[in-house]
Amino acid sequence: MNLIEMNSICKSYRNIGFETKVLKDVTLHIKEGDYVGIIGPSGAGKSTLMAIMGCLAQPTSGEYILDGEQVGKLNDRKLSRVRNEKIGFVFQAFHLLPGVSALENVTLPLVYAKNPPGNIKERARELLAKVGLEHRLHHTPGQLSGGEQQRVTIARSLISDPRIILADEPTGNLDSKNGIETMKTFDSLVKEGKTIILITHDQEVAQHAGRIISILDGQIASDSEVNHEAQTRSL
Amino acid sequence: MNIFSSLGIAIKALRAHKARTFLASLGILIGIASVIIMVAIGKGSQQEVMDVIAGMGENLITVNAGEMKRRGGRLRLTGNVTTLTVRDANRIMDEIGEVERVAPFEQKSMTAKFGNNSAETTIAGSTIDFPIVRDYKLKSGDVFSERDVKTANRVAVIGMTAVKNLFGEEDPLGQVIKVHFMPYKIIGVFEPKGVDTNGLDQDDLVLIPLSTYMRRIANQTFITRIFVKASSRKNIAKASKKIHELLRENHKLTDDRNDDFTLVSQLDIEEMKKETTEMFTKLIVGVAGISLLVGGIGILAVMLISVKERTREIGIRRAVGATRKDIVRQFLYESLIIGFLGGGLGVALGVGLTLGLTHWGNWTLILDLNSIWVASWACAGIGVLFGVFPAIKASKLDPMVALTTE
Ligand SMILES: Nc1ncnc2c1ncn2[C@@H]1O[C@H](COP(=O)(O)OP(=O)(O)OP(=O)(O)O)[C@@H](O)[C@H]1O
Ligand SMILES: [Mg+2]
């Protein structure tokens, strides 16, 4: 069964005087446990596609079925629960709460959880340790470097143990060592059965995925499985 | 998400912006404080007026000769009526059960002399019940006796203003003053009473027996006023009605003729003064409403700015699972807290100033618990009313739009 099913999704922004068509008739099916890389030039519509996948924005037209549910028909409470429980976001622009410690930023999703676990602080600490930030628990975003903020964001996306992780350029600000660590984290998450959708400019990063979709000017230009065996042989 | 975490978020946000929070609550603070103080002033002045009315004599009914017309808010006698007499007073006393005492009264502004001092004062003639009916207390000496009245003796009881004007620091008891070339012996001095409801000095008075007055000063048989003390507050109305009937009968007024006298009871004066206080109350309510509105607009402005400034925060919270309701709650609690903060400080300031002014200043302020109660609810109301709009506005944004707002 498809976890994510997008049929003929269009998205346009209407501003005063002009209309920008960002997504044009995108049809895309992703199975549970898939590891999908999305590549494409800047401005192609990758982040917009991710916003729609994550129920942060509604498509202008088309049908989006997430985990068997028509997203367009969900009310605000249900949509919020989907975002809270099923999806972890790693935003390109981090989007951390300013003035709030890394630890509290990581626990934020659980503030809105219906059944939050008991050991919230402990879990957040573990996750921050996992991304190499055990020494920065009480720093606020302003006191963290870009890469450190990005890693806080990754920790936050994992706190509610979501089935889907939507990561927009998760390694964009990281040095190669931390980048590799992050990718290792994702690889192990896939092994746990999570579905990961990863937006990246980096071909090497994209190669971690099992399937690469390239977006060009709001449309899917190519969609191919990655043959890891062939890859390893060619190296 | 439960109420406590929403409250926690709201409190954290407010603490992060202490100056803004304080400024937002300042309008409410000043509004509430001024409402409390103004109500206290209103109540105080009302009490002062009531004290003055009561001070003119408990359960007092005044019978004035002639018809009284209201002119410029005050009652004035019209015409020169000669029909009211001591006989009327006696019949009122004898025939009406609800009447405890009567004091027929006549007065005139005249010059009194003591040695080389002379002063313009009110010479009044009445009976021995006058001090009781009008609630004059003796400071020293005595009131004249029944015998003094019968034999029209030239004795006087004198008020403190007249004492000051004629005697300065000297003890007036036993001294002799001259009025209209006739000597009068001072046998008593009244305690000071202050002004009456018309603002007239009640202590500028030289009281002599009515018989003496009629013979030596006025040379007339009619009087202009009878003070009547009803037996109880409850009986004032009944006594008034009976006095009215009795006087009409005694003055042989047939059905179609107007009264030639006017009754003014303590209740009538209270009623009259109430109109003034009610107007004042309306004014207070108006000013209070305006200041609270201004305070509310303060909250509205701050919340609108706050929402705008924190649009990205809203987007983040929505992205990780906050519902619209969660967002509305968060901002609503913020404005509620601002409202209560301003309200609480306002109540503290208002009560503090009221108590302070009563204690150290020469003010009569009466703290009204009702006004505090109403003001507190007003704070909550204003908080909700002016916070709900920005809160709803904040929650309506698409998470993505909120996140990418500059
Ligand atoms: N609110 C908006 N109004 C108008 N146009 C918008 C709006 N948001 C995005 N766009 C346009 O949509 C297009 C796609 O944006 P999007 O952020 O999805 O690109 P992207 O593929 O993620 O690019 P990058 O790799 O640079 O992040 C861009 O050309 C952008 O200008
Ligand atoms: Mg992007």
Please give the ipTM for the structure prediction. Answer: 0.93
Question: Nearest CB to B319: which of A85, A89, A98?
Answer: A89
Look-up of token digits 């004042």: B280
What integer pLDDT is reported at residue B76 of this predicted model?
Answer: 64
Kindly state the average pLDDT of the residues B8-20: 84
Rounded Cα distance between B193 and B186, Å, is 19
DSSP string, B107-142: EEEEEEEETTEEEEEEEEEE-TTHHHHTT--EEEE-
Contact between chains at A76 and B403 (C-beta distance less than 8 A): no
- Distance (angstroms) between ligand 1 centre and the Cα of A218 equals 10
Is the model's pLDDT at A233 over the cut of 50? no
Task: Say which ligand is closest to the CA of A201.
Answer: 1
Nearest of A69, A74, A52 to residue A166 by alpha carbon = A52
pLDDT digits (tens, 9 = 90+) for B79-101: 677 888 999 999 999 999 999 99
- Percent helix, percent strand, percent coil in chain B, to nearest 5: 55, 20, 25
What integer pLDDT is reported at residue A112 of this predicted model?
Answer: 92
Instruction: Give yes or no for residue A16 CB within 6 A of ligand 1.
Output: no
Strand order in the sheet with A195-199: A87-90, A164-168, A195-199, A35-39, A211-216, A219-225
Rounded Cα distance between B132 and B103, Å, is 9
- Distance (angstroms) between ligand 1 centre and the Cα of A64 equals 20
- Most B CBs within 10 A among A11, A52, A55, A95, hence the mutation to make, goes to A95
Distances (CA, A) of A34 to A89, A158, B211, B306: 16, 17, 120, 41
Q: In Å, how far is B13's CA from the nearest CA of chain A?
A: 10
What integer pLDDT is reported at residue A203 of this predicted model?
Answer: 85
Residues A97, A98, A99, A101, CA torsion sign: positive
How many A-B residue pairs are in contact by the CB < 8 A criterion? Answer: 67
A44 CA closest ligand 1 atom index: 21
Contacts of A53 (CB under 8 A, 6+ apart): A4, A6, A64, A66, A164, A166, A197
Rounded Cα distance between B145 and B209, Å, is 9
- List, as ranges, residues 14-43 from B with C-beta within 8 Å of A: 16
Q: Determine contact: A74 vs chain B, CB below 8 A.
A: no
Contacts of B364 (CB under 8 A, 6+ apart): B44, B45, B47, B48, B358
Q: Determine contact: B318 vs chain A, CB below 8 A.
A: yes
Question: Considering the entire predicted model, what is its pTM?
Answer: 0.73
Rounded Cα distance between B318 and B327, Å, is 8
Contacts of B92 (CB under 8 A, 6+ apart): B63, B99, B102, B226, B228, B243, B246, B247
How many other C-beta atoms are found inside a 10 Å radius of the C-beta of residue B99? Answer: 22
Q: Is B295 strand, coil or helix?
A: helix
What integer pLDDT is reported at residue A66 of this predicted model?
Answer: 95
- Give the fold, CATH level 3, of A34-55+85-234: Rossmann fold (3.40.50)
What integer pLDDT is reported at residue A202 of this predicted model?
Answer: 86
Instruction: Give yes or no for residue A218 CB within 6 A of ligand 1.
Output: no
Rounded Cα distance between A157 and A109, Å, is 8
Q: Determine contact: B48 vs chain A, CB below 8 A.
A: no
Residue of B nearest to A84 (CA): B321
- Distance (angstroms) between ligand 1 centre and the Cα of A202 equals 19
Kindly state the average pLDDT of the residues B168-190: 92
pLDDT digits (tens, 9 = 90+) for A144-161: 988 899 999 999 999 999
Which residues lie at CB < 5 A from ion ligand 2? A 47, 92
Q: Determine contact: A50 vs chain B, CB below 8 A.
A: no
Q: Which of A6-15, B66-75, B363-372 has the highest mean predicted lDDT (pLDDT)?
A: A6-15
A201 CA closest ligand 1 atom index: 25
Question: B3 or A215: which carries more pLDDT confidence?
Answer: A215
Q: Determine contact: A72 vs chain B, CB below 8 A.
A: no
Is the model's pLDDT at B155 over the cut of 90? yes
Task: Specify the residue with its C-alpha closest to ligand 1, atom 18.
Answer: A45
Q: Determine contact: B350 vs chain A, CB below 8 A.
A: no
Look-up of token digits 């622009």: A93
What integer pLDDT is reported at residue B106 of this predicted model?
Answer: 93
Q: Which residues of B touch A113 (CB under 8 A)?
A: 321
- Annotate B45-81 with b (16+ C-beta within 10 A) or e (fewer): bbeebbebbebbbbbbbbbbbbebeeeeeebebeeeb
Contact between chains at B319 and A95 (C-beta distance less than 8 A): yes
Q: Which residues of B touch A111 (CB under 8 A)?
A: 1, 5, 9
What integer pLDDT is reported at residue B274 of this predicted model?
Answer: 81
pLDDT digits (tens, 9 = 90+) for A84-139: 999 999 998 899 999 899 999 999 999 999 888 888 999 999 999 988 999 999 99
pLDDT digits (tens, 9 = 90+) for B275-316: 887 888 788 878 878 888 888 888 888 888 888 888 899 999
Average pLDDT over chain B, rounded to an integer: 87
Rounded Cα distance between A192 and A129, Å, is 19
Q: How many helices (H) and strands (E) does chain B have?
A: 13, 12
In testing the pocket of ligand 1, which one of A14, A48, A49, A91 has its CB within 8 Å of the most ligand atoms?
A: A48
**Up-side HSE of residue A220: CA atoms within 13 Å toward CB?**
18
Nearest of A49, A188, A5, A99 to residue B16 by alpha carbon = A99
Nearest of B348, B357, B334, B356 to residue B376 by alpha carbon = B348
Q: Are strands B67-71 and B138-141 parallel, antiparallel or unpaired?
A: unpaired
Is the model's pLDDT at B72 over the cut of 80? no
Contact between chains at B403 and A91 (C-beta distance less than 8 A): yes
Q: What is the CA radius of gyration of chain A?
A: 18
Kindly state the average pLDDT of the residues A35-59: 94
- Most B CBs within 10 A among A89, A111, A160, A161, hence the mutation to make, goes to A111
Contacts of B199 (CB under 8 A, 6+ apart): none
What integer pLDDT is reported at residue A69 of this predicted model?
Answer: 93
How many other C-beta atoms are found inside a 10 Å radius of the C-beta of residue B336? Answer: 22
Per-residue pLDDT band for B69 (boundaries 50, 70, 90) equals: low
Cα B219 → chain centroid: 41
What is the token pair recorded at B192?
């000071």
CA B2-B5-B11 angle, 5° bins: 140
Task: Specify the residue with its C-alpha closest to ligand 1, atom 2.
Answer: A13
Given a contact cutoff of 8 angstroms between Cβ atoms, the answer to whether A162 and A87 are in contact is: yes
Per-residue pLDDT band for A234 (boundaries 50, 70, 90) equals: very low
What integer pLDDT is reported at residue A68 of this predicted model?
Answer: 93
Domain boundaries of chain B, sorted by first residue: 3-51+272-403, 82-259
What integer pLDDT is reported at residue A182 of this predicted model?
Answer: 86
* C-alpha dihedral, B137 to B141 to B144 to B146, nearest 10°: 90
Domain boundaries of chain A, sorted by first residue: 34-55+85-234
Q: What percent of chain B has pLDDT over 70?
A: 97
In testing the pocket of ligand 1, which one of A10, A11, A13 has its CB within 8 Å of the most ligand atoms?
A: A13
Q: Which residues of A touch B398 (CB under 8 A)?
A: 56-58
Q: Determine the residue type at B116.
A: N
What integer pLDDT is reported at residue A235 of this predicted model?
Answer: 44
Average pLDDT over chain A, rounded to an integer: 91
Is the model's pLDDT at A14 over the cut of 90? no
**Up-side HSE of residue B105: CA atoms within 13 Å toward CB?**
25
Instruction: Give yes or no for residue A13 CB within 6 A of ligand 1.
Output: yes
